[in-house]
Amino acid sequence: MITLHKASKIYPNGTKALNNISLHISAEEFVFLVGSTAAGKSTLMKLLYRADKPSSGKVLIDRINVSQITYKQIPYLRRNIGIVFQDFKLLPNRTTYENVAFALRVTGASLFNLRRRVLNALEVVGLQKKAASMPRELSGGEQQRACIARAIVNNPPILLADEPTGNLDPETSWSIMQLLAKINVRRTTVLVATHDKEIVDGMRKRVVALENGQIVRDQQLGVY
């Protein structure tokens, strides 16, 4: 499903964000990507959804080398990858429903299909009653749930979450992780970048640890 083969990323200023990374994540796995700030977690995520390209090596999604696709092909790649960010990135002047629907409108989905899929995504994350609410009317946890609904509305086979609990309190953070685990059970591959030790230790999923742009540990049923 996801494969990095000797992938490195060196920025123009000489910073080596990733150094010869090789990693394979199978379909339907749940994997934590851990490490300190600047360990390379976010850079690795960006390579997967083609917000950046490796300086060398290969990045494969379902055997497609994403570093070689054209800019016109990037939107099609991202339809198969749901992305959840720490800072939510909701459209402030759109309702919860409209924020989730936005990801479908660009695909040309019919009005009937769009409504059915948006309401289903909101049900999965427990926000059916908040469909008409504006982002400012939602709590931090509800805003992140709206982001997750937007990420899964296309039923992508892969969900990437970059520090999804970074702005949330411990109780809300745990509920978000339980939701991601629920989505994983629905046969979605989930990769979560986080520095939340308590959550990683409590979930006991596969843990890939980065340090100075290199993988230093890859452990099944791991801890931070």
Reported as a single tens digit per residue, the pLDDT across 77-125 is 988 999 998 888 899 999 999 999 988 887 777 888 899 999 999 999 9
Strands (E), 35-150: 56-61, 64-65, 81-84
Give residue 181's pLDDT.
97
Per-residue model confidence as pLDDT tens digits over 42-88: 999 999 999 999 999 999 999 899 999 999 999 889 889 999 988 88
Handedness of CA 49, 220, 203, 186 (dihedral sign): positive
What are the tokens at 63?
A: 């055997």
- The enclosing H or E element of 203 equals helix 197-203
Q: Give the angle subtended at the CA of 129 by the CAs of 123 and 135, to the nearest 5°.
A: 100
Q: Give me the mean pLDDT over the 150-177 stretch.
A: 94
Banded pLDDT at 145 (limits 50, 70, 90): very high
Give residue 179's pLDDT.
96
* pTM of the complete model beyond 0.75: yes
Domains of the chain, CATH where assigned = 26-52+74-219 (3.40.50.300)
Say how far apart CA 183 and CA 195 lie, in whole Å. Answer: 21
What residues have CB less than 8 Å from 90, skipping those under 6 apart? 99, 135, 143, 146, 147, 150
